[in-house]
Amino acid sequence: MKTSFCFVSVIFLLTTVNCLAQTTEELQKKYTVFNRTISPGTEPGSIHLNEAEGEGHAWINDTKFTNGTIEVDIKGKDKFQGSFVGINFHGVNDSTFEAVYFRPFNFRTADTVRKLHAVQYIAPPKFGWEKLRNEFPGKYEQPISPAPDPNEWFHARITVDNNNIKVYVNGSSTPSLVVEPLVHTSGTLIGLWTDTDGNWKNLKIIPASQ
Question: Domain holding 163: CATH number?
Answer: 2.60.120.560
Could you tell me the CA-to-CA distances from 82 to 28, 35, 78, 196 in Å, in that order?
A: 25, 17, 8, 6
Question: Which pTM was predicted?
Answer: 0.90
- The strand ranges marked E within 78-176 are 85-91, 98-102, 119-122, 141-142, 154-160, 165-169
DSSP 67: S
- Mean pLDDT over 9-23 rounds to 50
Domain containing residue 91: 5-207
- State the pairing for strand pair 47-49/119-122: unpaired
Per-residue pLDDT tens over the stretch 76-115:
999 999 999 999 999 999 999 999 999 999 999 999 999 9
Please state the domain count of the chain: 1
Q: Measured between alpha carbons, how far is 143 from 7 in angstroms, rounded to an integer?
A: 35
Q: Measured between alpha carbons, how far is 25 from 23 in angstroms, rounded to an integer?
A: 5
Per-residue pLDDT tens over the stretch 123-173:
999 999 999 999 999 999 999 999 999 999 999 999 999 999 999 999 999
> Are the C-beta atoms of 13 and 209 separated by less than 8 Å?
yes
